[in-house]
């Protein structure tokens, strides 16, 4: 998911917690594409009874996968022993793989290798994963509950989208107005059963759970 920039010096976001071990010290850093991914991951954890901030997990939106190389360089300079994990869009896998290999996370990382070092692919992105997890019936019910039935029906009549699968229509619909995307991401995550959370989200949350021995 796209998101606005959160500052160029990513490492500076971590220093406050690292410097004060009696506050919310950073135990792990999770890289995501954008701010809606940050929202989604935080809400998904909450549905499982977890508070990432209280666990010492800092979720950092990169504002695009290509920023990972700069982030890894800053992190290596400022906090080289940090525990790192992430979610990424599958279309950006080569970018993520190359950056992690250059940073010393392992040679020739395939999909399984990326998962072993804590990076999990969303197909095609986290929004797609959540839309599939919700299913058509839930999406249509949420449109009614959110008060968007009239604009939804108007949108579906547009020539470019008429007759397309509902999940494709829904993706475009929620992106057509600035606040809809985050509003529906929140609604989906507050509605679906936690057992239906997308696989990459579940695997990531398991990977960063408290008590994990990093490097295993």
Same domain, 203 and 98: yes
- Asked whether residue 215 is assigned to any structural domain, the reply reads no
Cα separation, 60 vs 37, whole angstroms: 9
Query: Does residue 205 carry a pLDDT above 90?
Result: yes
The answer to whether the CB of 31 falls within 8 A of the CB of 89 is no
Separation in Å, CA 36 to CA 11, 101, 126:
20, 27, 9
Task: Report residue 210 as tokens.
Answer: 């408290």
- Asked whether residue 184 is assigned to any structural domain, the reply reads yes
Which residues touch 33 (CB under 8 Å, ≥6 apart)?
1, 2, 3, 61, 62, 63, 64, 65, 87, 88, 89, 92, 125, 126
The answer to whether the CB of 108 falls within 8 A of the CB of 75 is no
Same domain, 140 and 165: yes
Same domain, 119 and 74: yes
Confidence grade of residue 95 (pLDDT, cut at 50, 70, 90): very high
Confidence grade of residue 178 (pLDDT, cut at 50, 70, 90): confident
Confidence grade of residue 15 (pLDDT, cut at 50, 70, 90): very low
- Asked whether residue 214 is assigned to any structural domain, the reply reads no
Same domain, 74 and 158: no
Query: Does residue 10 carry a pLDDT above 60?
Result: no
The answer to whether the CB of 36 falls within 8 A of the CB of 87 is no
Share of the chain above pLDDT 70, in %: 87
DSSP 22: T
Same domain, 142 and 165: yes
The predicted structure's pLDDT at residue 16? 41
Confidence grade of residue 12 (pLDDT, cut at 50, 70, 90): low
User: What value does the mean pLDDT of the chain take?
Assistant: 87
Per the structure, the count of domains in the chain is 2
Instruction: Show the domain range for 68.
Output: 12-126+197-207
Same domain, 118 and 144: no
pLDDT digits (tens, 9 = 90+) for 185-199: 999 999 999 999 999
Instruction: Report the pLDDT averaged over residues 89-103.
Output: 95
The predicted structure's pLDDT at residue 5? 39
Read off the pTM: 0.86
The answer to whether the CB of 61 falls within 8 A of the CB of 37 is yes
Cα separation, 45 vs 40, whole angstroms: 9
Same domain, 23 and 120: yes
Phi and psi at residue 86, in whole multiples of 5°? -175, 165
Same domain, 83 and 169: no
Instruction: Report the pLDDT averaged over residues 174-187.
Output: 91
The answer to whether the CB of 63 falls within 8 A of the CB of 185 is no
């Amino acid at each position: 998911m796209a998101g606005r920039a959160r500052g160029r010096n990513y490492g500076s976001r971590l220093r406050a917690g690292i410097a004060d071990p009696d506050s919310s010290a950073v135990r792990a850093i999770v890289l995501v594409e954008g701010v809606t991914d940050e929202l989604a991951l935080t809400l998904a954890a909450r549905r499982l009874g977890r508070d990432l901030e209280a666990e010492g997990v800092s979720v950092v939106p990169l504002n695009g996968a290509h920023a990972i190389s700069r982030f890894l360089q800053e992190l290596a300079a400022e906090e080289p022993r940090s525990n790192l994990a992430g979610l990424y869009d599958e279309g950006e896998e080569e970018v993520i793989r190359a950056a992690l290999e250059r940073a010393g996370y392992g040679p020739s990382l395939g999909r399984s290798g990326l998962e072993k070092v804590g990076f999990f692919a969303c197909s095609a992105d986290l929004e797609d994963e959540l839309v599939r997890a919700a299913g058509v019936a839930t999406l249509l019910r949420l449109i009614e509950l959110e008060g968007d039935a009239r604009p939804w029906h108007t949108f579906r009549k547009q020539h470019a989208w008429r007759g397309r699968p509902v999940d494709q229509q829904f993706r475009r619909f929620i992106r057509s107005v600035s606040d809809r995307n985050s509003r529906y991401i929140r609604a989906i995550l507050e509605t679906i059963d936690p057992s239906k959370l997308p696989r990459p989200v579940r695997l990531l949350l398991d990977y960063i759970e408290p008590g994990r021995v990093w490097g295993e």
